[in-house]
Structure 1
């Protein structure tokens, strides 16, 4: 009996790790899609990785911003064209699951423009909403 319980626990452990691996890849795919859309100069497509809600929280150097639409407007104001958007890269440092439908991501961002280079770090809280991972909190510096 002890052997059966042991093997069931081992099998469960492998299943949980496989599920986390799949979910981690899904989160990385969201971030990669955002990066690719940014590099095309499409801010609205980039924003599809965010929760389309008035409760979305973005914290940047100007302080907190609430709402998907306001966050989009701020991005458009700060990056009005493809030249100012430059070329974006991410360096993902950590993806940690807080619950089965919430994850924390730590990373760095880098935007190379023609004559300048912007860079910083971000922490994200993502939630799985209606089967899709969405950024619900973004703190970028």
Structure 2
């Protein structure tokens, strides 16, 4: 009986520890998204891109197909959103953040850009990975 109580206490402890780690991961991911939102709204596309993995292996999938690499993705954004009038003010609605495995999550959400030249809205799915202690987007599908 004593062993059963010890076992139950250990299970509760590890479950609580795991939930705490997951909550910290989600907070850190939301912080990256907040920093991106602020940078975008300030027409700072390079600052916005800080949330992405700075690698040729980064993948962005949008209406024009797959863009490979951090620099190519930045170039795509710079061409599509050349001025403050185009970037406008960004907001997100995060609908779900789900753990894939240790150090990896996917995020489902909506983006809304308010701007004078016409608003833009869409949905996205991001894959975040913890790389060297920092949460980075390694794949982005946006419409």
Aligned length: 141
1:22 aligns with 2:27: no
- 1:115 deviates by 3.5
State the TM-score, normalized to the length of structure 1: 0.98
**RMSD of the TM alignment (CA)?**
0.6
Question: Residues of 1 paired with 2:31 and 2:117: CA distance?
Answer: 30
State the TM-score, normalized to the length of structure 2: 0.97
In structure 2, stretches of 5+ residues that fail to align are none
In structure 1, stretches of 5+ residues that fail to align are none
* Runs of 4+ with deviation above 6 angstroms: none
- 1:100 deviates by 1.1
Question: Residues of 2 paired with 1:100 and 1:33: CA distance?
Answer: 23
Counterpart in the other structure of 1:82 = 84
SS of aligned partner of 1:110: strand
SS of aligned partner of 2:125: strand
Counterpart in the other structure of 2:131 = 129
1:12 aligns with 2:14: yes
Question: Residues of 2 paired with 1:36 and 1:24: CA distance?
Answer: 18
